C-alpha cells in the first residue's frame, strides 16, 4: 500500500523543516483539483510537425517518439539566428507538434465521471478524445479540464490526441512549446465536488482565533435527485483534526449543483508567513447514503494582510517590506518543462538571499510553483496577462484571443490559485499598451466575481498617462514598473493609492565579468557581456542599489519586485543575437548567483555576512576596484594580510576600496557585535582540475527527481579559475540520465540538451535525473588536460 494523499501531503509539509529529510516530489496528486487527479504523464507519443488526421483513433503513430510529460520540444533545438521566435524568444523554434496517448478504460468506469486536466500546454491546443473534438484553448499558460465521460470506450482502448501550434513570435520571452506541464486523469463518482470547487477563506484572523470559511460546490451529474451530507474536517500540519463540521440533508436536483458554505473556528491558529509557512488542510467528504462519494482536499494557510496608503504592507499585523523578484517560467536548461525539484531549487536559492516574494511575470504560473511558495514561504503576485487588446508581438501573441478568452483565462487562474496563502494579489496585466479603462474595470470585476478577498493590481510603466491613472484609480493597488519619480508625485496626487514597485531595477550583468570604471554606467561591450559591478544599466535607469533606496526610503511603498530573480531564456537586452538569454537575473540560468545576489542578501537578511568582488586574477598594472556587500557594522579589507582600511558598513549600499593589484589573497573581515565573518578571493593558477559539487547526494528514484551538479574548473590548489572556459564532458553510469547542461553564459549557443559544456567564468552545470530504478548513480566529468572528478549519488526507492 502506498501513502495516502494526506500522509503524502504531511511528508511534503514536514520535509522542509527537517533538513535531513528528502523532499518528496508531488506524486500522483494534483494540487488544485482536490488532490484527486492521477498523473497522466506517461507513455505519450510525440511528433514534431503537423499530422493530417492525427486526431483519428486509427491513426498510425508507431513511428512517433515515446515520452513522458512534461515535455518542451523547443529546448531540444539548436539556437537559430533566424528563428521566428527572435532573440526575444530565445532563438529556439516553436511550430506545430502533436501528442497522442492510447489508454485503456476499465468497464467499471461506466458509472463514473472521467476528466482530464492540463496544467498548461503551449499553445493553441486542440484536444480530441477518440476522434471527437473536446475544444481548443489558445492561451498556453492557462490550466483547463475536459470531461471525457461521454466519449470513452469502456472496457476498451481510447486515444487522446493533442495538437499544439506555437506560431512564433507568441511571447516576448522564451515560452517553450509542448505539453510542458503535468496532465492528470480524474475519475469521480457522478456526485462530486466541482473542478477547483472548494474555496477556503479566513474572514477573521488573530493569534487567538480564526474564522475559516469553506465554500464547496457539489455537482450532481447522476441524473437523479441526491440527498447529500458534506463533512468538512480541518487538519493541522501533522494531520491532527482541528475541527469538523457536518452539513446534512443537502438536496441537489438531478443535473443540478449546490454550493455550501461552512464556517469553522480555529483557536490559537498557527499563522502563515514567509518565516513560518504553516499549512492546514481542508478535507471535505461528500457522503450519500452513508458512503463517501467524493473526497476533496486543499491546503490553506491562516493569515491576514493589509496594504495601506501610508504604511505599505502588513502581514498578520506586522509591517514589512515585500522583498520580491519577478521570474519568468523557464527552468534554464530544462526549458519550460515543469519539474518540481527544479522549482524548489530556485526558491531555495532565493530564500537564502532573503527574498520573500515572487511575481509570476507575466502569466499564470505552473500550479506547483504556488504549492512550493506556500510551503517554503513566499508571497506571490499572480499575474494574468502581458497584453490585452493591443499586441506587443503584433503578429501572434495573446491579443488575438483576448476578446474571446480573457474572461475564461483570468477566472481559470483565480479559481485555480485562490486557496494558496502565498497569493496576496492578482495582477490583471503588465505594461499594457493603449490600455482601455473599461477593459480594466471588466477584468477587475471578473476577478472579484470569483475572489473578492485579495486586492487587484496591474503593473504600469506609464504612470504619467491619464488612462493609466484612471485605471490604477479603479484598482486596489498601484503597481509601478520603474520610473520612481512617480512614487512621490502620485502619492501626493492620490493620497489613498496603495503603492508598490511591481517591477524595479532591470540592470544587467554577466556572472564573473567586471568592467570599469566600477562607479560609472558601463552597459555594452564588444564581448557581448555585461559588468558585475552594479554598473550595468541604461543612461536613465536605476541600478539595484538606487532602486532599493527608492523603495526603502518610502514607508508608503509596500516593497519591490526586482526584474529578475533568475535569468531566463530570451530577451537578451542590451544585445541581440548572438546573445540568447537574459542578463537581468540576480542569479544566472544555471542557478549560480551573481555578485548582486549578495547585495540583496546584505539588505534582506540579518545573519552577519560579507561578500567581496571582483575575482583576483588581474595584471600587475591594475588598480582594482574592490567592493563589499555586507550587513555587518564594519568591514576591514586585507591584501595578503595587510590592512587596506576599515569601513563602517552601517546603512551603506556597498563599500569600495581601490587596491593596487598584486597576486595573493584579498580578504574581507566583517564584524557585527561579537560575530566575525570573512570572505576572500585568491589568485588562481592555471586550470588543473574539474571539481563536482552535487546539491544533494541522495535523491528519489521516481523518474523525476534531479541532482544539480555544480562543476568548477580549479587550479592545483582547488582555487576556482575565474576566467576558465574549458570544455567539460559529462557521463553517467547507473539508473539516471543527463537532462541538461548550462553555464549561465548568455552568449553561449551550446545546446541545453547535451552532455558537454564549456565553463563560463570557471563554472558549468550538469543536471541528472533519476529513473524509477533505485541504485547508485556515478557522474563523471572529464576535461582535456585536467584531472577528472566523479561523484556518487544514491537514488532511493520512491514512495508509491
For ligand GAL, which is the closer residue by CB, 220 or 461? 461
Question: Which residue is closest to ligand GAL by CB?
Answer: 506
Sequence-distant (6+) residues with CB within 8 A of 446 are: 406, 407, 410, 411
For ligand GAL, which is the closer residue by CB, 359 or 420? 359
From CA 783, how far away is CA 796, in angstroms rounded?
30
For ligand GAL, which is the closer residue by CB, 514 or 563? 563
Question: What residue has cell string 463518482?
Answer: 189
Nearest to 534 by CA among 668, 653, 679, 624: 653
Min dist CB 541 to ligand GAL, Å, is: 8
Reply yes or no on whether 383 is catalytic.
no
**Which helix (H) or strand (E) covers residue 347, if one does?**
helix 340-353
Min dist CB 563 to ligand GAL, Å, is: 5
Do residues 557 and 500 make contact, with C-beta atoms less than 8 angstroms apart?
yes
**Which helix (H) or strand (E) covers residue 465, if one does?**
none
Min dist CB 45 to ligand GAL, Å, is: 35
- Residue 60's CB is within 10 A of a number of other CB atoms, namely 8
Min dist CB 172 to ligand GAL, Å, is: 6
Min dist CB 512 to ligand GAL, Å, is: 22
For ligand GAL, which is the closer residue by CB, 328 or 689? 328
Do residues 345 and 695 make contact, with C-beta atoms less than 8 angstroms apart?
yes
From the candidates 431, 468, 560, 571, give the one annotated as an active-site residue.
431
For ligand GAL, which is the closer residue by CB, 165 or 506? 506
Min dist CB 361 to ligand GAL, Å, is: 6
Q: Sign of torsion, CA 136 137 140 146?
A: negative
For ligand GAL, which is the closer residue by CB, 186 or 506? 506
DSSP code at position 78: P
Min dist CB 434 to ligand GAL, Å, is: 16
| CA distances for 684 relative to 304, 666, 719, angstroms | 52, 12, 6
Min dist CB 462 to ligand GAL, Å, is: 10
| CA distances for 507 relative to 165, 458, 528, 566, 761, angstroms | 34, 22, 15, 13, 20
**Which helix (H) or strand (E) covers residue 748, if one does?**
none
For ligand GAL, which is the closer residue by CB, 59 or 583? 583
From CA 797, how far away is CA 348, in angstroms rounded?
24
Which residues contribute to the site for ligand GAL (CB under 6 A)?
361-362, 430-431, 461, 481, 503, 506, 563, 571
Min dist CB 542 to ligand GAL, Å, is: 11
Min dist CB 219 to ligand GAL, Å, is: 39
For ligand GAL, which is the closer residue by CB, 431 or 567? 431
Min dist CB 625 to ligand GAL, Å, is: 26
For ligand GAL, which is the closer residue by CB, 387 or 635? 387
| CA distances for 415 relative to 2, 121, 432, angstroms | 30, 18, 23
From the candidates 371, 383, 503, 560, give the one annotated as an active-site residue.
503
| CA distances for 760 relative to 588, 614, 728, angstroms | 11, 15, 11
For ligand GAL, which is the closer residue by CB, 362 or 580? 362
Q: Sign of torsion, CA 590 591 592 595?
A: positive
Do residues 727 and 758 make contact, with C-beta atoms less than 8 angstroms apart?
yes
Task: List the grid coordinates of 582.
Answer: 537574459
Give alpha helix (H) positions in 520-668: 544-552, 596-604
DSSP code at position 720: B
**Which helix (H) or strand (E) covers residue 75, if one does?**
none
Min dist CB 571 to ligand GAL, Å, is: 6
Question: How does strand 478-481 pair with strand 456-460?
Answer: parallel
For ligand GAL, which is the closer residue by CB, 461 or 543? 461
Reply yes or no on whether 19 is catalytic.
no
Q: What is the 3-state secondary structure (H, E, C) of 390-457?
A: CCCCCCCCCHHHHHHHHHHHHHHHHHHHCCCCCEEEEEEEECCCCCCHHHHHHHHHHHHHHCCCCCEE
**Which helix (H) or strand (E) covers residue 638, if one does?**
strand 634-639
DSSP code at position 601: H
For ligand GAL, which is the closer residue by CB, 145 or 431? 431
Q: What is the 3-state secondary structure (H, E, C) of 100-129?
A: EEEEEECHHHHHCEEEEEECCCECCEEEEE
- Residue 607's CB is within 10 A of a number of other CB atoms, namely 11
For ligand GAL, which is the closer residue by CB, 196 or 507? 507
Do residues 297 and 264 make contact, with C-beta atoms less than 8 angstroms apart?
no
**SS3 state of residue 604:** helix
Sequence-distant (6+) residues with CB within 8 A of 339 are: 70, 331, 704, 706
Min dist CB 88 to ligand GAL, Å, is: 9
Cα 374 to its chain centre, rounded Å, is: 12
* End-to-end Cα distance, the chain: 8
DSSP code at position 88: T
Catalytic center residues:
431, 503
Amino acid at each position: 500500500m502506498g501513502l495516502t494523499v494526506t500522509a503524502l501531503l504531511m511528508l511534503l509539509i514536514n520535509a522542509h523543516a527537517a533538513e535531513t529529510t528528502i523532499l518528496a516530489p508531488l506524486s500522483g496528486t494534483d494540487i488544485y483539483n482536490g488532490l484527486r487527479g492521477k498523473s497522466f504523464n506517461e507513455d505519450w507519443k510525440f511528433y514534431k510537425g503537423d499530422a493530417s488526421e492525427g486526431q483519428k483513433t486509427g491513426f498510425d503513430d508507431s513511428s512517433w517518439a515515446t515520452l513522458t510529460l512534461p515535455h518542451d520540444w523547443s529546448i531540444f533545438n539548436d539556437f537559430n539566428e533566424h528563428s521566428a521566435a527572435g532573440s526575444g524568444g530565445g532563438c529556439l523554434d516553436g511550430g506545430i507538434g502533436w501528442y497522442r496517448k492510447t489508454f485503456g478504460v476499465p468497464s467499471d468506469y461506466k458509472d463514473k465521471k472521467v476528466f482530464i486536466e492540463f496544467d498548461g500546454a503551449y499553445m493553441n491546443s486542440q484536444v480530441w478524445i477518440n476522434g471527437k473534438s473536446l475544444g481548443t484553448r489558445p492561451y498556453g499558460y492557462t490550466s483547463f479540464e475536459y470531461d471525457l465521460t461521454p466519449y470513452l470506450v469502456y472496457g476498451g482502448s481510447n486515444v487522446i490526441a493533442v495538437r499544439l501550434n506555437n506560431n512564433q513570435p507568441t511571447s516576448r520571452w522564451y515560452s517553450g512549446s509542448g505539453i510542458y506541464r503535468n496532465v492528470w486523469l480524474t475519475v469521480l463518482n457522478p456526485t462530486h465536488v466541482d473542478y477547483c470547487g472548494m474555496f477556503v477563506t479566513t474572514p477573521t484572523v488573530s493569534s487567538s482565533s480564526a474564522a475559516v470559511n469553506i465554500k464547496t460546490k457539489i455537482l450532481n451529474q447522476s441524473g437523479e435527485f441526491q440527498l447529500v451530507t458534506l463533512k468538512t474536517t480541518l487538519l493541522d500540519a501533522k494531520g491532527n483534526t482541528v475541527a469538523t463540521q457536518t452539513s446534512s440533508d443537502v438536496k441537489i436536483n438531478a443535473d443540478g449543483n449546490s454550493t455550501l458554505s461552512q464556517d469553522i473556528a480555529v483557536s490559537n491558529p498557527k499563522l502563515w508567513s514567509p518565516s513560518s509557512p504553516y499549512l492546514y488542510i481542508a478535507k471535505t467528504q461528500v457522503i450519500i447514503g452513508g458512503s463517501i462519494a467524493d473526497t476533496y482536499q486543499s491546503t490553506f494557510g491562516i493569515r491576514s494582510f493589509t496594504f495601506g496608503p501610508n504604511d505599505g504592507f502588513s502581514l498578520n499585523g506586522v509591517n514589512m517590506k515585500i522583498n520580491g523578484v519577478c521570474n519568468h517560467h523557464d527552468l534554464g536548461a530544462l526549458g519550460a518543462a515543469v519539474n518540481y525539484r527544479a522549482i524548489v531549487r530556485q526558491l531555495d536559492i532565493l530564500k537564502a538571499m532573503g527574498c520573500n516574494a515572487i511575481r509570476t511575470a507575466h502569466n499564470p504560473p505552473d500550479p506547483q510553483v504556488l504549492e512550493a511558495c506556500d510551503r517554503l514561504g513566499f508571497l506571490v503576485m499572480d499575474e494574468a496577462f502581458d497584453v490585452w487588446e493591443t499586441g506587443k508581438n503584433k503578429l501572434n501573441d495573446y491579443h488575438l484571443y483576448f476578446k474571446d478568452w480573457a474572461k475564461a483565462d483570468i477566472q481559470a487562474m483565480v479559481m485555480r490559485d485562490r486557496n494558496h496563502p502565498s497569493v496576496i494579489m492578482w495582477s490583471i496585466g503588465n505594461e499594457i499598451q493603449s490600455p482601455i479603462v473599461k477593459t480594466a474595470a471588466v477584468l477587475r470585476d471578473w476577478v472579484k466575481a470569483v475572489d473578492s478577498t485579495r486586492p487587484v493590481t496591474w503593473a504600469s510603466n506609464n504612470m504619467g498617462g491619464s488612462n493609466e491613472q484612471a485605471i490604477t484609480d479603479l484598482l486596489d493597488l498601484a503597481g509601478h514598473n520603474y520610473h520612481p519619480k512617480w512614487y512621490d508625485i502620485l502619492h501626493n496626487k492620490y493620497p489613498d493609492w496603495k503603492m508598490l514597485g511591481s517591477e524595479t531595477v532591470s540592470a544587467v550583468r554577466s556572472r564573473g565579468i567586471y568592467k570599469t570604471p566600477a562607479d560609472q554606467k558601463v552597459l555594452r561591450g564588444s564581448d557581448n557581456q555585461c559588468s558585475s559591478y552594479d554598473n550595468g544599466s541604461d543612461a536613465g535607469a536605476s541600478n539595484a542599489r538606487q532602486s532599493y533606496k527608492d523603495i526603502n526610503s518610502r514607508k508608503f511603498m509596500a516593497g519591490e519586485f526586482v526584474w529578475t530573480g533568475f535569468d531566463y531564456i530570451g530577451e537578451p537586452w542590451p544585445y541581440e543575437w548572438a546573445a540568447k538569454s537574459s542578463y537581468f537575473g540576480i542569479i544566472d540560468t544555471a542557478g549560480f548567483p551573481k555578485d548582486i545576489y549578495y547585495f540583496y542578501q546584505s539588505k534582506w537578511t540579518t545573519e552577519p555576512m560579507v561578500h567581496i568582488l571582483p575575482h583576483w586574477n588581474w595584471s600587475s598594472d591594475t588598480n582594482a576596484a574592490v567592493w563589499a556587500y555586507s550587513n555587518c557594522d564594519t568591514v576591514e579589507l586585507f591584501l595578503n594580510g595587510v590592512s587596506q582600511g576599515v569601513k563602517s558598513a552601517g546603512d551603506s549600499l556597498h563599500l569600495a576600496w581601490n587596491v593596487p593589484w598584486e597576486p595573493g589573497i584579498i580578504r574581507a573581515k566583517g564584524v557585527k557585535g561579537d560575530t566575525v565573518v570573512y570572505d576572500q578571493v585568491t589568485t588562481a593558477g592555471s586550470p588543473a582540475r574539474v571539481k563536482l559539487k552535487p546539491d544533494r547526494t541522495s535523491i528519489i528514484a521516481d523518474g523525476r527527481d534531479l541532482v544539480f551538479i555544480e562543476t568548477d574548473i580549479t587550479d592545483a590548489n582547488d582555487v576556482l579559475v575565474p576566467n576558465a572556459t574549458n570544455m567539460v564532458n559529462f557521463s553517467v553510469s547507473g539508473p539516471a540520465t543527463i537532462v541538461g547542461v548550462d553555464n549561465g553564459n548568455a552568449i553561449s549557443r551550446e545546446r541545453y540538451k547535451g552532455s558537454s559544456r564549456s565553463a563560463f567564468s570557471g563554472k558549468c552545470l550538469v543536471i541528472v535525473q533519476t529513473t524509477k530504478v533505485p541504485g547508485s548513480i556515478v557522474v563523471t566529468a572529464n576535461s582535456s588536460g585536467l584531472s577528472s572528478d566523479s561523484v556518487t549519488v544514491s537514488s532511493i526507492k520512491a514512495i508509491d
